[in-house]
Amino acid sequence: MTTKYTEDHEYIRVDGAHGIVGITNYAQDQLGDIVFVELPSIGQKLKKGDEAAVVESVKAASEIYSPASGTVTEVNMALAAEPGLINTSPDADGWIFKLKLDRAAELDALMDDAAYAKHTA
Amino acid sequence: MAEPQTEDLKTVVLNDEHVKLGGRMVPFSGYSLPVQYPTGIIAEHKWTREHAGLFDVSHMGPSFLLLDQKSGDAQKDHETIAALVEPLVCGDIKGLKPGQIRYTLLLNEAGGALDDLMLARPADPAWAGTLYVIVNAGTKQGDWSRIAAAAGGQAKLNRADNCGLLALQGPEAVAIADRLVPGVQDLGFMTYGSFSWGGTQLVISRSGYTGEDGVEILVEPEYATQLWNALLADPRVKPIGLGARDSLRLEAGLPLYGHDLDETVSPTEAGLNFAISKRRREAADFPGAPRILKEFAGDLGRVRVGLFVEGAPAREGAEILDASGAAIGRVTSGGFAPSLNRAIALGFVPAASSSPGTKLQVSVRGRLQPAEVTPLPFVPHRYVRKATP
């Protein structure tokens, strides 16, 4: 399993043809307390860079863009009741949606751990 | 995420303290100010409702208007200075009792709000002929020019925005301030006085904009850090940023200038009839009186209302629609209410759609969400009003 990152601070944890998407710890810290999450629909087809979800902090709404093209297979319903999971556990319980990837090769353009660490340094 | 522009931003006298406390500095009204500290907006908001929150509001516009030639008769001197500013506002300034603060509005000739502000009469007769004037940060230059012009050659406007202006708000705020500066708890809500503290004079008002009891303290710049830290030394006090300041005032249903109030909005439309003093109404002698008195009598196009919003927060600019889907207004402030754990908003709708319980809708990112007109404030005010001695 590998994790890749976008410049907009989404991550995608990839296992074969499937990926789990969320926002990074850096992003949740910048946004502050998350109070609402708008999730994509299951079966929704996304192209890389499409708006997939919206997270709302007390102050503002921020769009979450899909790190890759694919079909939404699952969304994290726990966020409806507890949007703060994105703050407390951005890379585990605070995941946002799962994606069946169209082309795994598309991920090569994203940053790996080391590049993302540099990006946020 | 766009990086904020930091050039040309002014800093407040407590800037270093905010940075030391881990405040996240953002541009606001031309100043660099903390939007939050490390604990975050929700924790800061709740702390203020339960204990005491310390806010740096030094970017605002405290000032003093001083009569040039005093007669020596305190009442007469007050009436003279009041008469200079009354033509600009809808409040009864002449009728202020010594030590009393009044919330009022600076109006244009069309009855629209140029700003909302506090005007106060000193308690000490030695200071008669002075008004303590506190205006908003974003409008202060214009407000001060207007007030100075109205004062003509008869009074001088002294800005005090080089000073520190601290607000301590919450149910424990007054007891904490009183321990530091004995006598503060004897002030009733919306009164103020001058107090000695550690070799300086503090101007302390029992007032605020969170819906909670509390004080606002004007302090000489040289003493601001010392006062800030003396207040923070009390374990019941935590520093609070702009984010929670906004969510607290929104829950309290209080309008924010530049959002819920602007040059087109009259005090009556904004639900601020209490700020149009009876004497002024009877005399019809304030800017925009024909329009405002007509509205006051019930002939009103639009009204500011509170909305409970289902689902995602409806932010400023979101369209408000009636139950049938017709667009009827816009949200002017909206967000998440930490004390209520739901989305709330302020906005303007036609009077016919303004009764509490009216079912409306808001458009958020192109989707309609249910909303319901709700009485203001969303969270009850807890001011401590004492009988004036």
Write down the ipTM of this complex.
0.88
Please check whether residue A118 lies inside any domain of the structure.
no
| Residue B244 with chain A: CB contacts under 8 Å | 58
d(CA B170, CA B248): 11
pLDDT of amino acid A58? 92
Mean pLDDT of all residues in chain B?
Answer: 96
Mean pLDDT throughout B20-44? Answer: 96
The answer on pLDDT for B6 being more than 80 is no
With CB atoms and an 8 Å threshold, state whether A33 touches B42.
yes
Q: Assign 3-state DSSP to chain B and report helix, strand, coil percentages, each to 5.
A: 25, 35, 40
Which SS3 state, helix, strand or coil, does residue B381 take? coil
DSSP line for A5-62: E-TTSEEEEEETTEEEEEE-HHHHHHH-SEEEEEPPPTT-EE-TT-EEEEEEESS-EE
The answer on pLDDT for B46 being more than 70 is yes
The answer on pLDDT for B49 being more than 60 is yes
pLDDT of amino acid A59? 86
d(CA B372, CA B360): 6
The C-alpha angle with vertex B97 and arms to B205 and B159, in degrees rounded to 5, equals 50
Contact A69, A49 (CB under 8 A): no
Question: Residue B37: pLDDT band by 50, 70, 90 thresholds?
Answer: very high
Annotated binding site of B for substrate: 216
Strand-pair partners of B116: B105
| Residue B28 with chain A: CB contacts under 8 Å | none
Please check whether residue A101 lies inside any domain of the structure.
yes
With CB atoms and an 8 Å threshold, state whether A56 touches B313.
yes
How far apart are the CA of A112 and the nearest CA of chain B, in angstroms?
20
The CATH number fitting domain B301-374, selected from 3.40.50.1000, 3.30.1490.100, 2.40.30.110, 3.10.20.600: 2.40.30.110
Which SS3 state, helix, strand or coil, does residue A108 take? helix
The C-alpha angle with vertex B24 and arms to B52 and B202, in degrees rounded to 5, equals 45
How far apart are the CA of B312 and the nearest CA of chain A, in angstroms?
6
> Between the CA of residue B327 and those of B119, B349, B350, B353, B358, what are the distances in Å?
38, 9, 11, 12, 15
Please check whether residue A121 lies inside any domain of the structure.
no
Q: How many residues does chain B have?
A: 389
**Which one-letter DSSP state was computed for residue B62?**
E
Contact B250, B243 (CB under 8 A): no
Question: Residue A1: pLDDT band by 50, 70, 90 thresholds?
Answer: confident
Kindly state whether A38 is in contact with chain B, defined as any CB-CB distance less than 8 angstroms: yes
- Locate the chain A residue with the closest alpha carbon to B340: A35
Please check whether residue A35 lies inside any domain of the structure.
yes
| Residue A38 with chain B: CB contacts under 8 Å | 312, 365
| Residue A59 with chain B: CB contacts under 8 Å | 35, 41, 243, 246, 335
> Minimal CA–CA distance to B239: which of B13, B12, B23?
B23
The answer on pLDDT for B278 being more than 70 is yes
Mean pLDDT throughout B228-253? Answer: 98
How far apart are the CA of A23 and the nearest CA of chain B, in angstroms?
13
d(CA B170, CA B381): 11
**Which one-letter DSSP state was computed for residue B166?**
E
pLDDT of amino acid B8? 82
Question: Residue B290: pLDDT band by 50, 70, 90 thresholds?
Answer: very high
pLDDT of amino acid B7? 62
Mean pLDDT throughout B186-202? Answer: 97
Per residue in B254-271, pLDDT tens? 999 999 999 999 999 999
| Residue A29 with chain B: CB contacts under 8 Å | none
How far apart are the CA of A41 and the nearest CA of chain B, in angstroms?
14
What is the pairing mode between strands A97-101 and A61-65? unpaired
Dihedral over alpha carbons B252, B253, B254, B257 (to 10 degrees): 140
The answer on pLDDT for B192 being more than 50 is yes
Question: Residue A12: pLDDT band by 50, 70, 90 thresholds?
Answer: very high
> Minimal CA–CA distance to A52: which of A21, A83, A77?
A21
* Extents of the domains making up chain B: 10-58+163-251, 61-159, 301-374
Mean pLDDT throughout B334-359? Answer: 97
How far apart are the CA of B42 and the nearest CA of chain A, in angstroms?
7
With CB atoms and an 8 Å threshold, state whether B312 touches A30.
no
d(CA B244, CA B336): 11
CATH code of the domain covering residue A97: 2.40.50.100
Question: Tokens 């702390």 sit at which residue?
Answer: B47
Hey, which residues 61-120 in chain A have their CB within 8 Å of chain B?
61-62, 87
| Residue A33 with chain B: CB contacts under 8 Å | 40-43
The closest CB to that of B312, out of A9, A32, A38, belongs to A38
d(CA B100, CA B385): 12
* Total tally of structural domains belonging to chain A: 1
Strand-pair partners of A65: A51
> Between the CA of residue B188 and those of A118, B36, B103, what are the distances in Å?
56, 30, 15
Check the CA dihedral B290-B296-B301-B304 and report its sign.
positive
Class of B10-58+163-251 in CATH: alpha beta
With CB atoms and an 8 Å threshold, state whether B313 touches A38.
no
> Between the CA of residue B221 and those of B163, B166, B210, B224, B388, what are the distances in Å?
5, 11, 24, 5, 32
pLDDT of amino acid B4? 47
Phi, psi of B318 (to 5 degrees): -65, 140
Mean pLDDT throughout B341-351? Answer: 97
Which SS3 state, helix, strand or coil, does residue B276 take? coil
Please check whether residue A117 lies inside any domain of the structure.
no
Sheet with A2-5: strands ordered across: A2-5, A10-15, A18-23, A97-101, A70-75, A45-46
Structural domain of residue A90, as residue ranges? 2-107
Alpha helices of chain B — where are they, by DSSP H?
Answer: 15-20, 41-50, 74-85, 140-151, 173-180, 221-232, 242-251, 278-283, 289-296
With CB atoms and an 8 Å threshold, state whether A35 touches B36.
no
Question: Residue A116: pLDDT band by 50, 70, 90 thresholds?
Answer: very high
Per residue in A53-107, pLDDT tens? 999 999 889 999 999 999 999 999 999 999 999 999 999 999 999 999 999 899 9
With CB atoms and an 8 Å threshold, state whether A58 touches B365.
no
pLDDT of amino acid B251? 98
Q: Name the CATH superfamily, with its identifier, for domain B61-159.
A: Aminomethyltransferase beta-barrel domains (3.30.70.1400)
Question: Residue B282: pLDDT band by 50, 70, 90 thresholds?
Answer: very high
